[in-house]
Every structure is written in C-alpha cells, then in structure tokens.
Amino acid sequence: MLQRLVDFQFKTYLAITELFKSLKNDERGLEVVQVVLIILVGVLLVVALWGALSGWLGDLWARITGSGDSIQGVNF
C-alpha cells in the first residue's frame, strides 16, 4: 500500500513537471498563460481601484450632503 502511494506521488510529480516543461517549450501555451495572467492582474487592479474610489467618493458625498444643513444664508 505504501509503495502505491509513493508511485502515485512520483507519477503526479512527473506529470506536473512535464506539463510545465511543455508549456515552457510551446510558445503558444506560454502566450496563452501570459495573456490570462495579464488579464487577471488588470481585472484585480480595476477592482482594487474601484473599491478605493468608491469608499473615497462615498465619504466625500456624505460630507457634502451632511454639511448642507449647516449652511446659512448670507445677510446683505
């Protein structure tokens, strides 16, 4: 039983190693991986920027609308 587990680990390691070697040597596969990673990083940046701007704009809008009650008319 232990030998089967060791064989499974070894075969899995070899399969993953061969997969990465084939992706590294196959330029099409590498280009696809690069494009996917670039798109993923772009989406994550947009989400992070949207979250930061959303919070900032929400605070700014709350200050603007909250200070509307304290504005008094000017007497001439």
What residue segments make up the domains of the chain, in order of their start?
2-65
What is the structure's pLDDT at 27? 67
Per residue in 5-20, pLDDT (tens digit) is 778 888 888 888 888 7
Q: Per-residue b/e over 33-59, b at no fewer than 16 CB within 10 Å?
A: eeeeeeeeeeeeeeeeeeeeeeeeeee
pLDDT digits (tens, 9 = 90+) for 31-68: 777 888 889 999 999 998 888 888 888 888 888 887 66
Is-contact 24 30, C-beta < 8 A? yes
Q: Which pLDDT score, from 0 to 100, does residue 28 have? A: 66
Q: Give the pLDDT confidence score for residue 72 in this predicted structure.
A: 60
What's the pLDDT at 24? 73
Report how far residue 23's alpha carbon sits from residue 68's, in angstroms, rounded to the nearest whole number. 61
